[in-house]
A and B are shown apart, each in its own frame.
Chain A
Amino acid sequence: MESVLELRDLTKHYPTHQAVNCISLCIKPGEFFSLVGPSGCGKTTTLRLIAGFEAPTSGEILLNGNSVTSLPPYRRDVNTVFQSYALFPHLTVVQNVAFGLERRRRESKIEIREKVKRALALVQLSGKESRLPSQISGGERQRVALARSLVLEPQVLLLDEPLSALDPKLRKQMRGELKSLQRRVGIAFLFVTHDQEEALSLSDRMAVMNGGRLEQIGAPRELYQQPKSRFAAEFLGEVNWINGTGVRPEATRISSNSPGDSVSSFTAVVEGSTFLGDCVHVQTRLPDGAQCTAELRRQECPFRTGDPVYVWWHASDELHFPIND
């Protein structure tokens, strides 16, 4: 399948550092793609390069196979949902959503009104048309920002940490809505976040970024279960490191009796447990000083601090990386 957005060796140097370092990436039509990494890893700069707010030092950006690298942002068929939403404070909800359509002058006034109405219905904002951004809630502003970009039906929608300004409960709700919205409109989303849980739960495919480079690209499950680097493994979830082997807490088993010789097991001492609502994390320490956390699905922990236990796992749950890491 042809890709709707392609980055070829995209690089951005700043006088003080290299923000984006030789990134190559293809995004397919209708795909929900996440770019995830710690703050300062270059994910937002990558997004700004695609939108055209910054010019790359080298490399190319292709939209539907055509280079847009030298086009100004107002000539690129991509749209951005900003972290701060960047709604025009002097314009009403309707005027904000109509802003892009009016610039384009492709539709008549009646058509614009129709499209804006449909976009607002899509994000469930009907009835708030004549409010100013200062007169609606944070979640509603978020929806206006989405409608304002989606109404233009861009090739790719760029989202820069759009959920980070919302409170946790609303964030979870919007996460679900975002996903179903993306399915309905069928536009490719390039979603930037530092929240690995967001990326894992939303994406068709995702890329982990670190220090301006792409560490790994793949489906969320693949990245989580078969991370290619220690960084990717640790960024996407917790990892226990025992004798150079990585294993996730939910794959780590803990028992009072030896599991037998079929699996390799280690003796450890329980150091404490943390109740997390839907599960319990039991922290243990091995004789060599290594810490190992096991996740228990039941809500009551049968182990007490100081109990001697065995920790073990199935070999198929081990995480393996190339030696160079």
Chain B
Amino acid sequence: MSRLRIAFLTPTAAVMGLLFFAPLLIVFAYSFLTRGAYGGVMRPWTLEAYDRVFDPLYGHILWRSLWIAAVSTFLCLALGLPLALYIARSASYKTLLLNLVMLPFWTSFLIRTYAWMFLLRDTGLINTALESLHLIRAPFPLLFNSGAVILGLVYGYLPFMVLPLYATLEKLDPSLLDAAADLGASPGISLWRVIIPLSKSGMIAGCLLVFIPCLGAFLTPDLMGGGKTVMIGNLVQNQFTTARDWPFGAAISLWLMVLVLFVTAFLGRKGEELI
């Protein structure tokens, strides 16, 4: 390797090594230790934390996390594909529309989540409006349930689906769609037989970018789920804060990571087969 290449790689390698791999090693070590009375860890080394990971109670939380993340990802895809297609095919408003997709990033995710809560809570804008119009008698339970969590996740991660999809669709040769129509394919068939197969790499990238953070999400389920819809991210967070069980928190984190790696590898291989 040339000196220049090493010089270019060093900053990134240093940051990753110091701030990513080292903490990961610490987490790994913690997961084999015993919990301290006031947080922290102490010896002896033990496998106890991993024993508890497979407790049915936590299996239930894991399962819920998986399906909430999967549903959110699917909804992002269903909403994001038409949007990305529209942006890619629009002639004059491309930049404006892309900027609108990225606009939410200008405000903190926390503030935006609170804004959603303001809209959805019992005394929020939507329920108040419906009540004052006498469409409902009691407030509609819009917040603090799985639906609200999914809504929050879809809202938060939709741009991560739209942007890679847009990047793929933008490169799609428009004459292919002309050709499909010319050969008798209605717009629906064109979408199914030409657009979707040719945007698979973008779909896989988008799905990974949405599914992985959704699976580990803790802010959205905490605020929009109101603590009732506990996801695996909340479980980890609790272990390091209120429960003060760092080894168990570390063990779940690693277990989650293995799961994510598995999903990534699976989708990555699927993608290679298709492309």
Q: Taking beta carbons and an 8 Å cutoff, which residues of A are in contact with B?
A: 51-53, 72-74, 78-80, 82, 84, 86-90, 99-100, 103-104, 148-149, 152
Shortest beta-carbon contacts, A-B, top 9: A100-B183, A103-B184, A86-B179, A73-B181, A86-B175, A80-B182, A90-B197, A74-B184, A74-B181
A90 and B195 CA atoms in complex are apart in Å by 10
Q: Is the CB of B179 within 8 A of A82?
A: yes
Q: How far is the CB of A232 from chain B (nearest CB, A)?
A: 30
Do A86 and B173 contact each other (CB < 8 Å), given the known contacts A73-B178, A73-B182, A74-B184? yes
Q: Provide the residues of chain A in CB contact with B173, threshold 8 Å.
A: 84, 86
B42 close to chain A: CB less than 8 A:
no
Q: How far is the CB of B197 from chain A (nearest CB, A)?
A: 5
16 residue pairs of the A-B complex, CB under 8 angstroms, read A72-B186, A74-B181, A74-B183, A74-B184, A74-B186, A79-B182, A84-B175, A86-B173, A86-B175, A86-B178, A90-B197, A99-B180, A99-B185, A103-B189, A148-B183, A152-B183
Q: How far is the CB of A151 from chain B (nearest CB, A)?
A: 10
Q: Is the CB of A72 within 8 A of B181?
A: yes
Q: How far is the CB of B274 from chain A (nearest CB, A)?
A: 8
Query: In this complex, what residue of A is CB-closest to B198?
Result: A90
Q: Provide the residues of chain A in CB contact with B180, threshold 8 Å.
A: 88, 99
Q: Is the CB of B178 within 8 A of A80?
A: yes
A103 and B173 CA atoms in complex are apart in Å by 21
Interface flags for B174-209 (1: CB within 8 Å of A; 0: not) read 011011111111100100011001100000000000
Most buried by A among B179, B193, B197: B179
A234 and B179 CA atoms in complex are apart in Å by 35
Q: Is the CB of B185 within 8 A of A103?
A: yes
Q: Is the CB of A82 within 8 A of B183?
A: no
Q: Is the CB of A51 within 8 A of B194?
A: no
Q: How far is the CB of A316 from chain B (nearest CB, A)?
A: 46
Q: Provide the residues of chain A in CB contact with B186, threshold 8 Å.
A: 72, 74
Do A104 and B184 contact each other (CB < 8 Å), given the known contacts A84-B173, A89-B198, A90-B198? yes
Do A100 and B176 contact each other (CB < 8 Å), given the known contacts A88-B194, A89-B198? no
Q: Is the CB of B181 within 8 A of A52?
A: yes
* The residue from A51, A86, A149, A152 contacting B176, defined by CB atoms under 8 A apart: A86
